[in-house]
Structure 1
Amino acid sequence: MIPVHVRHQENPPMTTRTLTPDLLQRMDAYWRAANYLAVGQLYLFDNPLLKRPLTLADVKHMLLGHWGTTPGQNFIYVHLNRVIRKYDLDMIYVSGPGHGGPAVVGNTYLEGTYSEIYPEISQDEEGLRKLFLQFSFPGGIPSHASPECPGSIHEGGELGYSLSHSFGAVFDNPQLIVACVVGDGEAETGPLATAWHSNKFLDAASDGAVLPILHLNGYKIANPTVLARISHEELEQLLRGYGWSPIFVEGHEPALMHEAMATALDTAVEQIRAFQRDARERGERTRPRWPMIVLKSPKGWTGPKFVDGLPVEGTFRAHQIPIKVSATSPPEHLRQLEDWLKSYRPQELFDANGRLLPELAELAPVGARRMGANPHANGGILLRDLRLPDFRDYACDVPEPGVRGIGDTHVLGPFLRDVAKLNDEQRNFRVFGPDETLSNGLEALFDVTQRQWDAATEPTDEFLAPSGRVMEMLSEHQCEGWLEGYLLTGRHGLFNCYEAFIHIVDSMFNQHAKWLKVTAGLPWRRRIASLNYLLASHVWRQDHNGFTHQDPGFIDHVVNKKASVVRVYLPPDANCLLSVMDHCLRSRHYVNVVIAGKHPAPQWLSMDAAVKHCSEGIGIWPWASNDQEADAPDLVMACCGDVPTLETLAAVSILREHLPELKIRVVNVVDLMRLQPSSEHPHGLGDVDFDTLFTRDRPVVFAFHAYPWLIHRLTYRRTNHDNIHVRGYKEEGTVTTPFDMTVLNELDRFHLVMDAIDRLPQTGDRGMYLKQKLRDKLIEHKQYIDCHGEDLPEVRHWRWGQSDGSRKQP
């Protein structure tokens, strides 16, 4: 094995006088101002500068928010402002602890960014009153670092993802530093514990840097945190074992803590710059041991020490609202709140008009160097269109429907390869996945790029390099978090994953979809590139892995989100997949879910036909239908998904061979949201168009890729809903043959034909005899696979039009 060389610099003793007495005094005052604004946001309805004694009328009726993490984050923010100015840093701030809203809102207000974006929140007494009133108040803003807050790319509901978001933000951003505050409660989550390993994927030559600041304040909501209750030695060994060089800042006395934090940050910034200089100017390729800071301070620092005789500061009681103030609370609580606010000496911080004193305001960076105004935190400002090749150049040749293909994602791979190649100079496109890029059929990417990897390598490894367009780690959480951070800072990407295991990031998808929904309504937030999922190795072709790998339910989860945000595509073949993926990569501010197969499968549409079909999103396939001359079809056979399409067409061929008088219409769905009414989704069909496709009164047998009840949910308002019979995944599966997977779930061609006959009484005895024949065929199928371990030859070798005289595609 090639040894891992990790460079580090020993931390010098913190004995230098980093801060002059004047600077220390002003920074402490700025910190007090931020803390005062935080308490005001939590409590005050009026009287923002305490120009008169505090009364109950000055206090909000509902006290909502979190104090415990806030003073520590204010402390960090003040110190980051100093190093930004000293070193002219391009830096953004990620607030990982769950509810740091008072800190980020207050600090962006103090630096001026907040008032520039929201002029009504002016930098005066009236602006302070509005700032306080809006916090956790109807018609106002949430209590966390939400999209409404300038400078935020990560909000409180995303507990555990801060570090992976931060790394995603610095990939291909060589000048950017992300200061990522990691809460010690957050550090107990699985995604965060894994994210420490992201330093093995960072290229010091072409990427930026992440400066984690582990905020040890000792408690979660009601319990101590693990990392705060292990020894200093154990914690340091843990962090060094992750590959970091920790710098510890511990205490509670402000003057000493200011000096220690300033020295720690100078040390960290100089180490980062040295590592980057070595990589960029000297070609040094050994992996740095990047610096991080461990800030140990009391929870609820500078807040009330005791309330009702119980300790608060430094305990779990400081987590949310430390003093309850209301008409029913003890009267001394109001006076205690007033004393707490006055302890920050607001008269020394703000002038008579409520404006921060100039000598304090000048501590903040200026212009785009302010963390609230940094364009990387509003990534749409930096977004540039991808250079895309013409997807038609990668088309499969489909001279007639049903020709055999190599596997749809294998066709897509060369297109993505050339997307990566065309955008290599811009460095704004990456493919993310949990060690499944090859497995999912995208091997062509490795013709032009590598997997980015900065740990040890062995001669037998493949496709590993310090810099590459493919990011793989066997953690769906990290892949999702990296990609989200990459998108939020103005780049493009694709997440490929096994369908069954994309559920691992359900909550991350939730939060990103909510972010998109909220930011779409904020005029100052620029739209970002869409979050694109390619789900391959799907439920119907996980026969070799079995039941654990068979779950198509992510679709159900996705369609719960706002219609303005989500899109779901199930292309039936490779040409449709190319058309859909080109559309998704060009789109903005959506979550696009694309489900496609990787195994050899029939191809149905020429590229011209595929483009038309995908542009419509749903349509009749005339070449598979025979109802053109009829007033109405006897039966509609609908399908959505590659395997359901195959089984539907095979069922149609059986019906047309044995019951040729039947008039059958075949409808294929690519864009799942076309099934919803237009009043519910912008892609939805109007009722007239839906009835034109599916009729108002004829039976519909619908073969669907996922759980069948989703189709009923999407179509329950339609005129003909009662006649729609859906087959899909019924939570049946095992290690078996591909066709047997469809049989187990009654999605196979034989069950589809029997469903049709049951709904067509005019087929009479001929229909009954055909059903009997198909039941016998199912028995034969089971006996054959148990004996031979593969599907019946007539299933394996079936092709459209081989025995029923059906017409070829025009």
Structure 2
Amino acid sequence: MKEQVTAPSATVLGTTELDLIDRYWRAANYLSVGQIYLLDNPLLREPLTADHIKPRLLGHWGTTPGLNFIYAHLNRIIRNRDLDIIYICGPGHGGPGMVANTYLEGTYSEIYPDISADTDGMRKLFRQFSFPGGIPSHAAPETPGSIHEGGELGYALVHAYGAVFDNPDLIAACVVGDGEAETGPLAASWHSNKFINPARDGAVLPILHLNGYKIANPTLLGRAGDEDLRQLFTGYGYEPFFVEGSDPHQMHQAMAATFEQAFDRIRAIQQEARNGAPGNSCPRWPMIVFRSPKGWTGPKEVDGKKVEGFWRAHQVPVSNCREDAAHRKILEDWMRSYDPQDLFDTDGRLKGDLRALAPAGKRRMGANPHANGGLLRRELITPAIGDYAVAVKEERGRTVAQSTEILGRYLRDILTLNADNANFRIFGPDETESNRLGSVFEVTDRVWMEEIKPYDVGLARDGRVMEVLSEHLCQGWLEGYLLTGRHGLFSCYEAFIHIVDSMFNQHAKWLKVSRELPWRKPVSSLNYLLTSHVWRQDHNGFSHQDPGFVDLVANKKSDIVRIYLPPDANTLLWTSDHCLKTYNRINVIVAGKQPELQWLPMDEAVQHCEAGIGIWHWASNEQSAVEPDVVMACAGDVPTMETLAAVDLLRQNIPELSIRVVNVVDLMALQSNEQHPHGLTDEIFDKLFTPDRPVIFAYHGYPYLIHRLTYRRTNHGNIHVRGFIEEGTTTTPFDMTVLNELDRYHLAIGAIERVPGLKEKATDAVKLFRDKLEEHHRYVRQHGEDMPEISGWKWPYDNKGARIT
């Protein structure tokens, strides 16, 4: 391995090129400051007055000059080497720099013609920044060239790696801020280099931007010495290069020389791998540690207090420019120090010799199609779901299958059908086999670039299953993969998907805004398969029991989210096939992996899923001419089984009771059609659930969500929901439902208690059911397993409602 390189002394830039790149950097800095401060007088053609200053100064200067510096040097390397590079801006509020640079290169005005490349356009550019009706202060969907929402820190590097998987010619230059480097997801992201195959993937060049401070404190890595940093990143498997200083000319030479070495190293690693040389399968990729002052080139002091090189430069270094003439003078001197007349012509256009520094066409980082992945997206090739159907005909609820195992065969064949396109991967935290998707390993392996032992199983350099015990990395890789035009699936234990709650939030927000931007082309949906769920985590206990992720999902804009609870394998096949074909959505599928009863033949499964909700007439005994006495509703595989077992108990013991069974696959169908595109009209909802009859609703998750979704319905006061009520332990599967009162006996008793006048007539049935609960309690604690009549129960009726003997 090469030794650490600190500020190479080689003179890469000639005098003319050095002057040009420095002027280009000054232009980006000038535009960045203008965005934070100015309403008018964009080129300082007259002295600044209070009316030229925004009334509310919002934005972040501290990180921006360093980001601009890097952008200018990346432009140089792209132009000289004809490279395909995207810029991922980790420092969250570096938005002024990203906007400034895409404006300088011409991309911004092409996308937003009203922000023209002249004085009037510059005025509008400044005014819109952090202004009502304008754009955010961070790199956002509105920012050309961005695939990374900068509002929350921690995800830049993992997005960069996701972007380059299966993108052999792409390089993601990822700037990691030293504040961001303190987050847990970012700390784990450094390990992503161990999943890059240089023969088929692109490359990531991490640039750790150390300016020493975050909002009001020093940063940990900013205070670390070079030797500690060298050892840290060498230990992570990188080859670190160092660029440090504050003198612009020296820093330009150092960065230019370092980029030459870093990109030479990337090219050498890839050529070696692609030529079949027996090199290191897990090479040391280069990374750069870039130290520059926070607020570089800004005011040294304000009101006698240190600003440049200190945390006071983080946001708005001169804060009272509208009211305080002395502050306004500091701002004017600061902006004039960039010499705008040397940068822009009389019309306000960037001067020609500087415009020539930007790459052309799609090589501009703001115009790179990988940063608008819908431009590159190809439809996923999927097999016919009927080829995997579980045979369910007359014997509903009597055939047993593992639904996710069936799905695994379907996913296996998707991998095969799309092998040439290399645009589908499966992501999960070491759980693909555990979640019964193991059939995929018949055609691929897990990605593994480190040493493979002779006894290892299922590891390969060219695998298409991404497993690492970090939900953050799985989510981030998949997001980067999707945002650059590909497809994927994230399979996870239900309880632990909460680890990425905040990442889900950010991606949902990204999609919400992107859908409103006509130039942002649709990307493939983010698809979650949540299995090993709450009702079948009885062996792991309370720590593994939490169905609440869907509550978070349901908070988001209705255009974005979908929640599916397929009750068996055939409905899971339809749901998964549907979700993988959608775009600009977040789809959550909750399905069990354990052996379970199968209910619907494929033709009925398709019809039921397309509707999202429906009456299961074969399970009901109501007379069509009148409303039923009670509606037994269910959503989720275990709640469906317990509901049908409860219906069986009621039909046996109270045969005159008229029962309707309603099953919900698409949870958002419960909402009004005015609230969600999949929602039912009030008329249809009332036809299913009746306007006035009791509804016993067995739900997979927390009961409150069903009430949230249905609170405006006519019959909401009669909807009684059973679900997870935070009772769990290591116990039997049926005992888990009993602890949470979701079991068949509690459901049957609930129906009896809520049908008017029935409780007094059915005292024997209620006593029987309560006695069964006591018997169950004794039995499981003596034998450690469920009673045979529970574990062996099957649906005992044929399609005409006759009991099978």
TM-based fold match above 0.5: yes
| Cα gap change, 1:12 to 1:239, in 2 (>3 Å) | closer
- What is the aligned partner in structure 1 of residue 258 from structure 2? 264
CA contact (8 A) 2:4 2:230 kept: no
- What is the aligned partner in structure 2 of residue 202 from structure 1? 196
- What is the aligned partner in structure 1 of residue 480 from structure 2? 485
Displacement after TM superposition at 1:296 (Å): 0.2
- What is the aligned partner in structure 2 of residue 181 from structure 1? 175
Superposition pairs for residues 685-700 of structure 1, below 5 Å?
685-700=680-695
CA contact (8 A) 1:59 1:325 kept: no
Q: Which of 198, 223, 228 is the aligned partner of 1:234?
A: 228
Q: Give the aligned residue type for 2:173.
A: A
Q: Which of 94, 98, 108 is the aligned partner of 2:102?
A: 108
Superposition pairs for residues 513-532 of structure 1, below 5 Å?
513-532=508-527
Pairing 1:129–2:123 present? yes
Pairing 1:569–2:570 present? no
Pairing 1:653–2:654 present? no
Find the aligned partners of 2:116 and 2:656 in 1 and give their Cα distance: 76
Superposition pairs for residues 452-601 of structure 1, below 5 Å?
452-601=447-596
| Cα gap change, 1:417 to 1:325, in 2 (>3 Å) | same
Pairing 1:627–2:622 present? yes
Displacement after TM superposition at 1:761 (Å): 3.3
Find the aligned partners of 1:76 and 1:249 in 2 and give their Cα distance: 11
- Unpaired segments of 5 or more residues in structure 1? 1-6
Corresponding residue SS for 2:173: strand
Find the aligned partners of 1:803 and 1:289 in 2 and give their Cα distance: 64
Displacement after TM superposition at 1:472 (Å): 0.5
Displacement after TM superposition at 1:808 (Å): 8.5
| Cα gap change, 1:164 to 1:581, in 2 (>3 Å) | same
Q: Give the aligned residue type for 1:144.
A: H
- What is the aligned partner in structure 2 of residue 3 from structure 1? none
CA contact (8 A) 2:630 2:659 kept: yes
Find the aligned partners of 2:722 and 2:134 in 1 and give their Cα distance: 46
CA contact (8 A) 2:165 2:201 kept: yes
Superposition pairs for residues 327-726 of structure 1, below 5 Å?
327-328=322-323, 330-399=324-393, 400-726=395-721
Find the aligned partners of 2:734 and 2:291 in 1 and give their Cα distance: 59
- What is the aligned partner in structure 1 of residue 304 from structure 2? 309
Find the aligned partners of 2:656 and 2:803 in 1 and give their Cα distance: 19
Find the aligned partners of 1:20 and 1:415 in 2 and give their Cα distance: 59
Find the aligned partners of 1:423 and 1:285 in 2 and give their Cα distance: 29
Find the aligned partners of 1:744 and 1:477 in 2 and give their Cα distance: 32
How many residues in Structure 1 have an aligned counterpart in Structure 2?
Answer: 802
Q: Give the aligned residue type for 2:686.
A: D
CA contact (8 A) 1:8 1:288 kept: no
Pairing 1:288–2:283 present? yes
- What is the aligned partner in structure 2 of residue 4 from structure 1? none
- What is the aligned partner in structure 2 of residue 250 from structure 1? 244
Q: Give the aligned residue type for 2:75.
A: N
Q: Which of 271, 295, 299 is the aligned partner of 2:294?
A: 299
Pairing 1:84–2:78 present? yes
Q: Give the aligned residue type for 1:35.
A: N
Displacement after TM superposition at 1:133 (Å): 0.2
Displacement after TM superposition at 1:804 (Å): 13
Find the aligned partners of 1:314 and 1:161 in 2 and give their Cα distance: 26
Q: Give the aligned residue type for 2:501.
A: D
RMSD: 1.4
Q: Which of 771, 774, 786 is the aligned partner of 1:779?
A: 774
Pairing 1:58–2:38 present? no
Q: Give the aligned residue type for 2:592.
A: G
Find the aligned partners of 1:558 and 1:629 in 2 and give their Cα distance: 37
Displacement after TM superposition at 1:282 (Å): 2.9
Find the aligned partners of 1:359 and 1:182 in 2 and give their Cα distance: 31
Per-residue Cα deviation, 1:274-321 (whole angstroms, up to 9, x for no partner): 000000013435221000111000000000000010000000000000
Per-residue Cα deviation, 1:403-426 (whole angstroms, up to 9, x for no partner): 232311011000000001110110
Find the aligned partners of 1:715 and 1:281 in 2 and give their Cα distance: 61
Find the aligned partners of 1:579 and 1:448 in 2 and give their Cα distance: 22
Corresponding residue SS for 2:220: coil
Superposition pairs for residues 129-168 of structure 1, below 5 Å?
129-168=123-162
Q: Which of 166, 174, 177 is the aligned partner of 1:172?
A: 166
Find the aligned partners of 1:320 and 1:711 in 2 and give their Cα distance: 44
CA contact (8 A) 2:633 2:662 kept: yes
CA contact (8 A) 2:53 2:322 kept: no
List structure 1 runs of 4+ shifted beyond 3 angstroms: 7-13, 802-809
Find the aligned partners of 2:129 and 2:800 in 1 and give their Cα distance: 70
CA contact (8 A) 2:615 2:662 kept: yes
Per-residue Cα deviation, 1:320-341 (whole angstroms, up to 9, x for no partner): 000012454x320011100000
Corresponding residue SS for 1:681: coil
Find the aligned partners of 1:792 and 1:150 in 2 and give their Cα distance: 62
Superposition pairs for residues 709-748 of structure 1, below 5 Å?
709-748=704-743
Corresponding residue SS for 1:51: coil
Q: Which of 273, 279, 285 is the aligned partner of 2:273?
A: 279
Displacement after TM superposition at 1:459 (Å): 2.1
Find the aligned partners of 1:26 and 1:797 in 2 and give their Cα distance: 79
Corresponding residue SS for 1:37: helix
Displacement after TM superposition at 1:802 (Å): 6.1
Percent identity over the alignment? 64
Find the aligned partners of 1:235 and 1:12 in 2 and give their Cα distance: 12
Displacement after TM superposition at 1:392 (Å): 1.0
- What is the aligned partner in structure 2 of residue 33 from structure 1? 27
- What is the aligned partner in structure 1 of residue 13 from structure 2? 19
CA contact (8 A) 2:396 2:798 kept: no
Displacement after TM superposition at 1:235 (Å): 1.0
CA contact (8 A) 1:659 1:763 kept: no
CA contact (8 A) 1:617 1:669 kept: yes
Displacement after TM superposition at 1:770 (Å): 1.0
CA contact (8 A) 1:654 1:753 kept: yes
Find the aligned partners of 1:405 and 1:356 in 2 and give their Cα distance: 70
CA contact (8 A) 1:101 1:143 kept: yes
CA contact (8 A) 1:240 1:246 kept: yes
- What is the aligned partner in structure 1 of residue 211 from structure 2? 217
- What is the aligned partner in structure 2 of residue 193 from structure 1? 187
Displacement after TM superposition at 1:12 (Å): 9.1
Find the aligned partners of 2:13 and 2:225 in 1 and give their Cα distance: 30
Corresponding residue SS for 1:493: strand
Corresponding residue SS for 1:533: strand
Find the aligned partners of 1:458 and 1:544 in 2 and give their Cα distance: 32
Q: Give the aligned residue type for 2:107.
A: T
Q: Give the aligned residue type for 2:475.
A: E
TM-score (norm 2): 0.98
Farther-moved stretch of structure 1 (454-463 vs 200-209): 454-463
CA contact (8 A) 2:568 2:597 kept: yes
CA contact (8 A) 1:160 1:186 kept: yes
Find the aligned partners of 1:298 and 1:808 in 2 and give their Cα distance: 80
Q: Give the aligned residue type for 1:417.
A: R
Pairing 1:768–2:763 present? yes
Per-residue Cα deviation, 1:362-410 (whole angstroms, up to 9, x for no partner): 0000000000000000000000001100011000011221123231101
Farther-moved stretch of structure 1 (14-23 vs 194-203): 14-23
CA contact (8 A) 1:99 1:143 kept: yes
Per-residue Cα deviation, 1:174-197 (whole angstroms, up to 9, x for no partner): 000000000000000000000000
| Cα gap change, 1:55 to 1:606, in 2 (>3 Å) | same
Find the aligned partners of 1:732 and 1:117 in 2 and give their Cα distance: 54
Farther-moved stretch of structure 1 (155-164 vs 571-580): 155-164
